[in-house]
Structure 1
């Protein structure tokens, strides 16, 4: 038998794969994995069909120029900032690749990378694969998962290479304010620390708030990789199309790594998106669209033993079940999938150390009928 040492001996199948597989096995309503339960705009499908003819060879490594131009123009307009098409924008195969390439182009063995728990489960193994040392700072449900900037400052050391941040936040739905950007800038000012900012839910921010991208703060922008996703914005997660916006010196290093990961992404998809991005209505209405779904789902738990936690962005709603069961969240998530056939994600899996909270995450990017039925089953449980 051939054996070799695993590079990730402690990594198992992701919780998303597990819960989606369980949902399929038990015929459960799948509110676990974060993907929309509906199709994309027919206009985008028509564009893809159109560009599938004559655009079937490799795209340029940095991305089709037309898509980079459209993305730069969209970003410049949305944030009122200049973005250089040639030196600051790179198209990649999904935001996960963008984050992976950002980590591996700048993190060397022994470098520390700070991240905030609950954190997306890909962050830690990406850093470890680069030889880096993940430094986890836990966020507290009692503070609505807000970052304590003084605590961040205390965790910075001479070995800190980068800080990974995520707003709107997966899994909690927490959202940064402009005051957070200012506080963050004060912490990193005068250092050589880089920022890897996961902003895949940038257009899903609720209650009239505006997305506080690190692109908006000069001190942060000059040191940041901003990783985004067309999949989350346009209901096309299966296309695996994302991007990275970064200053020229970071983009240069990012592309060196990216070329060995996927080199380039699907050409017809890029041309279709290049045209689709030109219409602001395709993303400006997204917050209202998902806020209605958030409100519909959350409203079903009024008067129940479930506690609805604030969701200021993303398409996730966290529910506290401490008044219902003393089970661990991973055990309850399994049981709910098997018994009442509603699949969710236990929030503890996003922590290095389980804080003992009784919280499950539900994705409300589903048809209204699915949300209503799922909520009905959950409320009856209580």
Structure 2
């Protein structure tokens, strides 16, 4: 079945000679719809997660100063990211999130959380590996798994309980091929913030089965109704099994700047950096 929205407007894909891992995936409808809408007048987007206001002035002023005075701004940064930024990220995680991270070995700066997620999945998922995903979920996560030749296995959220994780559903979905769990918290698209109790149960299950948990936390600051955000990275025992991806896109209105970061055990970071090097070299220096 052609999952591309383009099929509905008469555009057919010619995949002759194209690798199956690419031919089987689609640009997500979230990205395709703005392209279609750009051909019309007075369309209002209620879909994609783009802040409605601009990048803060203090960031833009710093960029202007760098463009005028920093001769290195147009060059590659170090592959894992600018050391000063990495130290600032580690300080923020320790100060505001209570998460201890070695900036030298346990994090790197990526081209947004999306590139970090794609790199992680390409690093740990092999052909026919199964990745458990709460459903509904962010569509691009599915394409990333398929591109790595893995199999997304959907575990429906419990809608009547505020889109909570279905722990029994996760347990039933486990097989010998299960390699990882991919989680978005707070959840895109439901907006649910998963309770600490449920997340700890998920962590216990992952440790028991030696599974990876990939945690997409791009929305961790968007909290309403006084709901607390619990990060799995605050569980020390989970360190060897957890990869956390975060982004500046939403927090600082920098969706087009393409800068985020990944946090994990040093041995995992070392491996994901191979993919990062092959596909991107480094995050944009000007954005860092």
What TM-score comes out, normalization by structure 2 length?
A: 0.88
Whether the 8 Å contact between 1:119 and 1:170 is mirrored in structure 2 is: yes
What's the CA shift string for 1:297-328, capped at 9, x where partnerless? xxxxxxxxxxxxxxxxxxxxxxxxxxxxxxxx
CA shift in 2, pair 1:124/1:13, >3 Å: closer
CA shift in 2, pair 1:217/1:2, >3 Å: closer
Higher CA-based Rg: 1
State the distance in 1 between where 2:182 and 2:259 align.
Answer: 21
**TM-aligned CA deviation for residue 218 of structure 1:** 2.2
Is 2:223 the counterpart of 1:205? yes
**1:267 matched to which residue of 2?**
285
**2:16 matched to which residue of 1?**
3
Indicate which of 130, 133, 138 corresponds to 1:115.
133
Whether the 8 Å contact between 1:105 and 1:253 is mirrored in structure 2 is: yes
Whether the 8 Å contact between 2:24 and 2:146 is mirrored in structure 1 is: no
**1:175 matched to which residue of 2?**
193
Whether the 8 Å contact between 1:149 and 1:187 is mirrored in structure 2 is: no
State the distance in 2 between where 1:11 and 1:182 align.
Answer: 33
**2:31 matched to which residue of 1?**
17
State the distance in 2 between where 1:21 and 1:124 align.
Answer: 21
**2:204 matched to which residue of 1?**
186
**TM-aligned CA deviation for residue 221 of structure 1:** 3.4
Which ranges in structure 1 are unaligned for 5 or more consecutive residues?
271-382
**1:256 matched to which residue of 2?**
274
Q: Which range moves more in the overlay, 111-120 or 218-227?
A: 218-227
Give the SS at the match of 1:212: coil
State the distance in 1 between where 2:200 and 2:96 align.
Answer: 20
Indicate which of 26, 30, 36 corresponds to 2:45.
30
Give the SS at the match of 1:238: coil
Whether the 8 Å contact between 2:206 and 2:213 is mirrored in structure 1 is: no
**TM-aligned CA deviation for residue 17 of structure 1:** 2.6
State the distance in 2 between where 1:13 and 1:266 align.
Answer: 23
**1:312 matched to which residue of 2?**
none
CA shift in 2, pair 1:178/1:13, >3 Å: closer
State the distance in 1 between where 2:252 and 2:81 align.
Answer: 18
State the distance in 2 between where 1:135 and 1:260 align.
Answer: 28
Give the SS at the match of 2:33: helix
Aligned positions of 1:339-358 closer than 5 A: none
Indicate which of 173, 178, 190 corresponds to 1:160.
178
Is 2:62 the counterpart of 1:47? yes
Whether the 8 Å contact between 1:181 and 1:217 is mirrored in structure 2 is: no
Whether the 8 Å contact between 2:79 and 2:282 is mirrored in structure 1 is: yes
Q: Which range moves more in the overlay, 112-121 or 16-25?
A: 16-25
What TM-score comes out, normalization by structure 1 length?
A: 0.67
Indicate which of 135, 145, 165 corresponds to 2:153.
135
**TM-aligned CA deviation for residue 265 of structure 1:** 1.3
**TM-aligned CA deviation for residue 100 of structure 1:** 0.2
Q: Which range moves more in the overlay, 218-227 or 4-13?
A: 4-13
Which ranges in structure 2 are unaligned for 5 or more consecutive residues?
1-13
State the distance in 2 between where 1:200 and 1:14 align.
Answer: 18
**TM-aligned CA deviation for residue 5 of structure 1:** 3.9
